[in-house]
Structure 1
Amino acid sequence: MPRQTGEQILQDKYNTTRRAAAFYNNQMLNHLNSDMESFISEQEMVFISTSDSRGHCDSSFRAGYPGFVRVIDKTTLAYPEFRGNGVMASMGNITENPHIGLMFIDFFESSVGLHVNGRAYICENKELETLQLSEEAINDIQKQNGKKVERWVVIEVEEAFIHCSKHIPKLKKGDKQIENQENNIKKVDGDYFNVKQNKRNSSVRS
């Protein structure tokens, strides 16, 4: 099932071939089973990884209400793209290289993760009928997230497997607005890392 020979080379080198074979045979699927589908439907966040045609990597984060990543069927997922910074880094990579990795982590209940690897493509709203998403489901997604879905990323599942809970921390949800006020945290959706000021200072020095 694994696609990359690099895995097998290192398994031979470090004498983990039998252990890896047990994992492939017992923990890895080429589709989503019902437990995986239920797990995804409860998640509010996902980490995504993509790379361009030269192999330059990018990681990103997506979030929404529980189930914002939609399970279309056992081999198809879709997540909505909302208005962002306009860079289009992840989707830009997908247009060059369709391979994508998704990492779902339940920090609050099970402390378990789920890897989903596959091939992705961009689906415009006018093409949604190809996903068999009902108008009610689309309206529900937009209502729950409070903003318009600009387009979708669709993933054709090739691998799905567990990330064990051993080193995943158990977290507790808090009210973000209250927490920010209590801790006097500066506005996080602007120039949190002071890049503008640093660039301005560099320009003055040069």
Structure 2
Amino acid sequence: MSTNSNLSLKSANIEPDLALGHPGELAMRAIFPSPIDWKEENLKGMMRDSISVGFAAFINSQHFFFLATSSAKGHCDASFKAREYNAAGEPLPAVLVIDAQHVAFPDYAGNGLYNSLGNIAENPHVGMLFVDFEHQRRGRLNGKAEIVSASDELRRIWPMAQSVVLVTVEQAFGNCPARIPQMHMEQGSDRSKA
């Protein structure tokens, strides 16, 4: 996938988290000890800088995901991103793993506030949370995002997208299934009622 049409306004090269976490995470671990003694080795085993084949299959199968973004000044936004359907009624991917280092998802015209895209334009760091309520599984992906225009190649995947967000993986990991309620998706229940 070509990404030469970057629409982002960001210019700073922001470094990823340290392997063991940033100072705030380390301080909270000291205040609230866990039964797990996190060491750099076991964190590296859990938090990978690439997407495994199994995690890619999990991501590609999701109907939706949650996206966390923040402006340059740290003002946060969390949003729900879900798949669309093409003119023939076939579901389009909500997100697509491009390779072990990249995922992409479409941006559709919405209410015109551009909370997520506006934040990405200022601060490339994003968090993505994938939850499969039927099988009570979840996974997380953190990385750097860039906004790319919807090329012909991307329009074949997402014909209604006005742009696409390409995320370069910094951390990809499964997350424990604790407290995920079991829910079942009804066929076609994610279709627009409009």
Instruction: Name the TM-score, length of structure 2 as normaliser.
Output: 0.76
- Residues 149 and 89 of structure 1: is their aligned pair in 2 closer, same or farther, counting only changes over 3 Å? same
- Displacement, 1:151? 0.5
Which is worse superposed, 165-174 or 90-99?
A: 165-174
Check the 8 A contact 2:92/2:157 in 1, yes or no: no
Identify the structure with the greater helix proportion: 1
- Displacement, 1:172? 1.4
- Displacement, 1:169? 0.8
- C-alpha separation in 2, matches of 1:2 and 1:96: 26
- C-alpha separation in 2, matches of 1:125 and 1:99: 21
Check the 8 A contact 2:140/2:173 in 1, yes or no: yes
Greater relative contact order (CA < 8 Å, ≥ 6 in sequence): 2
Q: Which amino acid aligns with 1:124?
A: S
Question: Is 1:106 equivalent to 2:132 in the alignment?
Answer: yes
Q: Which amino acid aligns with 2:25?
A: E
Question: Is 1:170 equivalent to 2:170 in the alignment?
Answer: no
| Secondary structure in structure 2 of the residue aligned to 1:166 | coil
Which residue does the alignment assign to 1:69?
A: 95
- C-alpha separation in 1, matches of 2:35 and 2:48: 18
Q: Which amino acid aligns with 1:93?
A: N
Which residue does the alignment assign to 1:153?
A: 165
Name stretches of at least 5 consecutive residues in structure 2 with no aligned partner: 1-18, 84-90
Mapping of residues 69-148 of structure 1, within 5 Å: 69-108=95-134, 110-126=135-151, 135=153, 138-142=155-159, 148=160
Q: 1:50 aligns with which of 69, 80, 96?
A: 69
**Percent of paired sites with the same residue:** 30
| Secondary structure in structure 2 of the residue aligned to 1:20 | coil
- C-alpha separation in 1, matches of 2:64 and 2:94: 8
Name stretches of at least 5 consecutive residues in structure 1 with no aligned partner: 129-134, 143-147, 178-187, 190-206
- Displacement, 1:19? 2.6
Q: Which structure has the greater CA radius of gyration? A: 1
Check the 8 A contact 2:146/2:166 in 1, yes or no: yes
Which residue does the alignment assign to 2:25?
A: 7
- Displacement, 1:87? 0.6
Question: Is 1:39 equivalent to 2:64 in the alignment?
Answer: no
Q: Which amino acid aligns with 2:28?
A: L
